[in-house]
């Protein structure tokens, strides 16, 4: 399950994650548009995810099912405007 979150970020991280864990969804990703990161929840057990890993720009992540598919977090987000 993958959610792309902007206005729903808090809800996706705090309300939906326990619902998906209770339903035993094995992996739940939240693409956080505000902080330019991906939050990955894994290993549901007793209504909660045992693992929560945050990947930021500069990191790479590979879905556990497809280890040869590597996602560069920076490629998911447009370049930031210079200040």
53: containing domain: 2-76
Residue 83 lies in a domain: no
Q: What is the CATH number of the domain that holds 49?
A: 3.90.1570.10
**How far apart are alpha carbons 46 and 31 in whole angstroms?**
24
Arithmetic mean of pLDDT, 43-64: 93
Residue 26 lies in a domain: yes
Mean pLDDT, the chain, rounded, equals 90
Residue 62 lies in a domain: yes
What is the model's pLDDT at position 66? 80
Arithmetic mean of pLDDT, 53-60: 94
Residue 70 lies in a domain: yes
Residue 55 contacts residue 35 (beta carbons within 8 Å):
no
Count: domains in the chain: 1
What is the model's pLDDT at position 78? 74
**How far apart are alpha carbons 53 and 73 in whole angstroms?**
13
Q: Does the pLDDT at position 2 exceed 80?
A: yes
Residue 61 contacts residue 40 (beta carbons within 8 Å):
yes
Q: Does the pLDDT at position 80 exceed 80?
A: no
Residue 8 lies in a domain: yes
**How far apart are alpha carbons 55 and 81 in whole angstroms?**
21
Residue 82 lies in a domain: no
Closest CA to 33 of 60, 65, 8, 16: 8
Residue 11 lies in a domain: yes
């Amino acid at each position: 399950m993958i959610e792309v979150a902007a206005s729903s970020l808090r809800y996706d991280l705090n309300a939906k994650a326990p619902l998906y864990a209770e339903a035993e969804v094995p992996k739940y990703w939240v693409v956080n548009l505000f902080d330019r990161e991906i939050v990955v929840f894994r290993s549901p057990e007793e209504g909660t995810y045992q693992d929560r890993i945050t990947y930021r720009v500069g990191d790479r992540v590979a879905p556990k099912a497809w280890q040869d598919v590597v996602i560069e977090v920076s490629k998911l987000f447009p370049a930031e405007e210079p200040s």
